[in-house]
Amino acid sequence: MTSLDIPHSKLVKERIATIGVFLANGFGIGAWAVEVPRIKESLSLSDASLGIALFCFALGAIVAMPLAGQLAPRLGSGRATALLGAAFAIALPLPALAPGMVTLCIVLLALGASNGALDVSMNGHASAIETQWRAPIMSSFHAAWSAGGLLGAATGALLQKGGVGVIGGLLVPDLFIAMLIVCAATLALRDIGPRAAAVSSGFAWPDSSVMKLAMLAFLCMLVEGAVADWSAVYLRSTLNQEASIAAIGYSAFALSMAACRIAGDASVRRFGSSRVVALGGLIALAGLALVLSLPTVLTACVGFAMIGVGLANIVPVIFSAAGRSTTTPAIGVSMAATAGYAGFLVGPPLIGFGAGLLGLRTALCVLVMATLIVSLLGGKAVRNARLA
């Protein structure tokens, strides 16, 4: 089946439904991010113990990602996305019910598995839609995810401000997520041709032609994942503020990232992809330096917003460059995506282990080094890919 065989109205429905899934997943991650400090405190976990628990989240996702690649060709990427979206909605409230460390690790394995599998499936379906659409529209999906993260974090902060407990802090957002998933599955999330299955099975370890781009994706999403899970913990411990105030850091990060992704395609057209990567890395580096050196409510808002602005469009640009570096775009994009999502999952537990050994502020300095490497090497890597 070619793109000419698929009615445009069907593609529009698939795009809207898939944007809804991205929004729902981002909403859940945002709600989870602001509840991490309260779960840590309710179970009296040390930084190192929390790092172990977050590692279980990462482990579950890493195990589930290849399985999701096998599920999509069997069901179609749309139906697999609907199924895995439902699994994510079921797993999201479970950490709030954990009575101890062992149970928390088990439920985070399940939550991480559902989130990792959904990541693979919904991005595969989005890639299939973009291929049939014959225009760059990936930024709209990622903008929806970022907007969901903002809304989830803001909702969680409001619930905490209103005195809602940890269980309600995850269960209330989960009801909205479940509604979005059901609406998306009812509207669309169907097969749109053989391309969807091919994309879903394309995740692999990067070869030499895209290794640099995959490394850059890993570093960028490592920073993003660490900010998602540790920003509220860092501000709560440093500023000694209530949880709803500590959540403002992630909210500023998610808002700026969502806003900049909406304008992502225009930015690349105006400044060029290599400049977007190099300048983005510098802006993120400056934001991290501000947060770590001057931790106040104001500098936290400004600093985390700068990190969001800097990182917003780097990963989409890297994915596009990776697609130009291989025989077909799907192969390169899937390789870079695998490394990127690994970074997103590895970042939080890495910071936790570092915090247990060196202290949280010192551990977060790893993120400064990551953004510095992206700024120094990213522009050239993307420019070379364009010439390949």
DSSP state letters, 196-236: HHHHHT------GGGHHHHHHHHHHHHHHHHHHHHHHHHHH
Q: In sequence order, what are the residues at sequence separation of 6 or more whose Cβ sits closer than 8 angstroms to the Cβ of residue 366? A: 226, 350, 351, 354
Q: In sequence order, what are the residues at sequence separation of 6 or more whose Cβ sits closer than 8 angstroms to the Cβ of residue 39? A: 45, 95, 96, 98, 104, 166
Look at residue 278 in the predicted model and tell me its pLDDT: 94
Look at residue 244 in the predicted model and tell me its pLDDT: 63
Q: Domains of the chain: which residue ranges?
A: 1-201, 204-388
| Per-residue pLDDT tens listing for the chain (388 residues) | 444 467 888 899 999 999 999 999 999 998 998 899 899 999 999 888 888 898 899 888 878 877 776 776 678 778 889 999 999 999 999 999 999 999 999 999 999 999 988 987 887 787 778 778 877 677 788 888 888 988 998 899 899 989 899 999 999 999 999 999 999 999 889 877 554 444 444 445 555 667 889 899 999 999 988 887 788 788 877 777 666 666 778 788 878 888 888 887 778 778 888 899 999 999 999 999 998 988 788 888 899 999 999 999 898 788 777 766 765 554 566 677 778 878 887 888 888 888 888 888 888 899 999 999 999 999 888 888 755 4
Look at residue 254 in the predicted model and tell me its pLDDT: 79
CA–CA separation, 72 and 80 (whole Å): 5
Angle, CA 115 vertex, CA 98 and CA 68 arms, to 5°: 130
Question: What architecture is the 1-201 domain classified under in CATH?
Answer: Up-down Bundle (1.20)
Would you identify the CATH topology of the domain 204-388? Growth Hormone; Chain: A; (1.20.1250)
CA–CA separation, 29 and 31 (whole Å): 5
Q: In sequence order, what are the residues at sequence separation of 6 or more whose Cβ sits closer than 8 angstroms to the Cβ of residue 1? A: 193, 194
Look at residue 348 in the predicted model and tell me its pLDDT: 84
Look at residue 180 in the predicted model and tell me its pLDDT: 96
Look at residue 3 in the predicted model and tell me its pLDDT: 46
Look at residue 4 in the predicted model and tell me its pLDDT: 47
Name which of 280, 300, 278, 307 is nearest 367 in CA terms: 307
Look at residue 47 in the predicted model and tell me its pLDDT: 82
1-201 against 204-388: fold identical: yes
CA–CA separation, 240 and 257 (whole Å): 26
Report the predicted TM-score, pTM, of the whole model to 2 decimal places.
0.75
Name which of 289, 290, 68, 301 is nearest 197 in CA terms: 68
